[in-house]
Structure 1
Amino acid sequence: MLKLTYTENSFYLECLTLSLEEWVTQRVIFSLRVGQNLCVQPSTASFLLPVNLPGVEALKTEARRADGGIIDLAICDAEYMEVTLRGSWLSDGSEEADGVFVTTMSDRTEFFLHKLWQEAQSCASVMSE
């Protein structure tokens, strides 16, 4: 399962070993115990990856082969590709942008996408130094 947590300036992508159902169940139980509203709704999430990352072409192939309908890849410009994922948005139901996006794909695609995202983050931090 992939979990995207949005922050004020960016987002964080995690690859979790729990199934989507297990994770949502735990989240529902937690919300009930603390008396917090929980809204779960179908949604999409998008982020950019540099097109020059090693492995981007393999991700395109894997996404077409194994996970059509859950992941879409589109070239934005000469430098970036947009990754759009279909999944669920969990929030307290308010109009605020606070929440977590979760989705599930084949283990291989999840791991590969997470690895590419980590590589993009490390490249970005090296360039900013």
Structure 2
Amino acid sequence: MKNKDKDENNNIDPKNLMAVERATTALIGTAISLIVLGFVVEKFELFLDLISMQLKGKQDLSVPQLQNTDFYNYLGIAIVSAGIILALYTYRYYTLWIKHLQEGKIDTDKNIYFLLSIFVALIGVVMLVGMVIV
């Protein structure tokens, strides 16, 4: 049994295996970037609080952005959650590709790249609306 598994792994072309590993690493990097971006967006409230204290110390000004801090909290939590989901999905992506390579099949999962592109574009639109309107 052990030799059979070893033989199946030896049938995988190293170029294909390295390509899958590069794609997996890129997805993990994207997941990390989403998590960091979500953290920064969520902690934007702290930045606004500090700016507000500085402005109030010099003059009697109110900062209108402080009324909408819940928006940044929820947006940050959603982005971090998406990063976590992508990180978990990446393991499934990797194992599925290893299975395909062992079987000698070439199949592609275009859905993850489509969904990731749509999500990143949606984050951009929501942040743009947040900067302009909120």
TM-score, length basis structure 2? 0.29
Greater fraction strand = 1
Greater fraction helix = 2
The structure with more radius of gyration: 2
TM-score, length basis structure 1? 0.30
